[in-house]
A and B are shown apart, each in its own frame.
Chain A
Amino acid sequence: MATSVLLACGLNEQKLPGFVHISEESNVDGSFLISCILGQRLRISNAGTLLVCLQHHYQHYFNAGMRLGYNTNIFQGKTLNVIDVLSDMASEGLACKWLRTPDGLSLTEQLVEDIRAQVESNYANRNSYTILIDNLSILFNLGASKLQVQQFCQDLASLAKERDNLTVITKLSNSDIYQPTDNNVAKLGQLRIQVVRLKSGVFREVDGKLLIERVLDEGSYACEEARKEVLYKVNDRNVKVFTPGEVGVKV
């Protein structure tokens, strides 16, 4: 269902890089990548996953998973744990801890505390652990500053460095105004996937383009990088990828 896109991004392996960042340009939606990665992680036996829902609530990922051929409910509470910020807000209102900032902690600090607690309790029992955060730009809407978001990501990156087989995957909609934040988050990891729209406009058979940058080796004065470009189309039950130039008018 989503193997080809994961293969193109280099995310189909059991062991993922420590920190992966997905940059989303204005006017495109890269949420399908989160669903694809989630499905791939859940299929690996004894691989733990923590899903931090900021843009969509858990039910969205359940629905998306069902279309892509996996059922998150089967894994929830076992290999899948969820921090559903949106649902908490909806059910508890202003009394919700994400809005109340108890103990003087900011929203991002509270999130780090919760993520750390989840990792502490689950990481030891799993072969690998993946933290999926969708979407960092929602933190801006909830009152976090750019610097707080950067600190939040640095805390997560240090968490990934402290432990082997722990992967943090973040997504940020840069909305064409958060580019420096986007760059600062991307530099924390080895793999960056940019979801960009087509320069030529809207096309029925292609939704956008994925620019994949992977740092292979960090030298003293320059990095050895691998870059790849693929076009993608999100269908109802799968995601297709094409190499640029493959799709066109056939006479």
Chain B
Amino acid sequence: MTLLSPAERSYLRDSLTASPIIRPDSRTPHQFRPIEAKTSFLSSSNGSARVRLIDGSECIVSVKAKVVDLASVSNLVEVDIDVDSFRDDSNFVTNLKFHILNSLANFPSTVLKLTTKYGYKLFIDVIVTSHSSYPLTLISLATYLALKTARLPKLVSEVNDEEIAEQPTFADDWAESTLIQDLLDAPFQPPVLITLGIIGNNIIFDPSIEEEQIIDNSLVIGFYNGRVITPINTISLSSISNGVNSIVLVKALELGNKYGGMVVKALDTLIEQDIDDENIF
């Protein structure tokens, strides 16, 4: 990790605590770094997405559905994260997994139930091929895209298997597959996690690696259905750790409410425009 010199740290700190905030790349406080994204490039997965920042940070997510006996599993959504150069059991990876899994706690699992006995289990596998700043937001956006574009094959066997035990069978035609959204009455919107940096009384969205090193505290907020939802967590990205003051917390939630919707809208626009080809790069 790049270590900043004391002079850089104090320059950055002064710029970020100034009013108005001056970020090193001139971003407004609520501006994210630009993202490049591509969906549905893995033919062997139900859904896939690749998201990349301009600095090269990249995350690939696959969603695979597997038919399981509902009685044999405790949860229908499983998340696994692989970060280059981190052990699977490291705190870093465990925390990322915890946040993503937590954000999917309200996943509409009922749509995954095929029959009384069988259902889909979704395996969300995340690979972070490279990253500089904390990759949680990147993972969350990629997961959103992969889930939103995931297609499930159409069930052709009986839905009701209470009397006659029957293994579910599916239509071979991929064109008959459905999006998770089509199985729901309401629009399907997986929560998006946003990382906020707190410095003094200022708040910045999507801190870069340099900013991370001098902020007082970081906040992860979920955004769902047009507003900020719980859980809201503080995470420590820098060595400094000061408590979060309640005024700043309220401000952070306000900003989250105000700008979170834009992120979701941008993601949805990308899905609409994305062409169905399998070119990953």
Q: Say whether A and B bind each other.
A: no
Could you tell me which A residues sit within 8 Å of B by CB distance?
none
Could you tell me which B residues sit within 8 Å of A by CB distance?
none
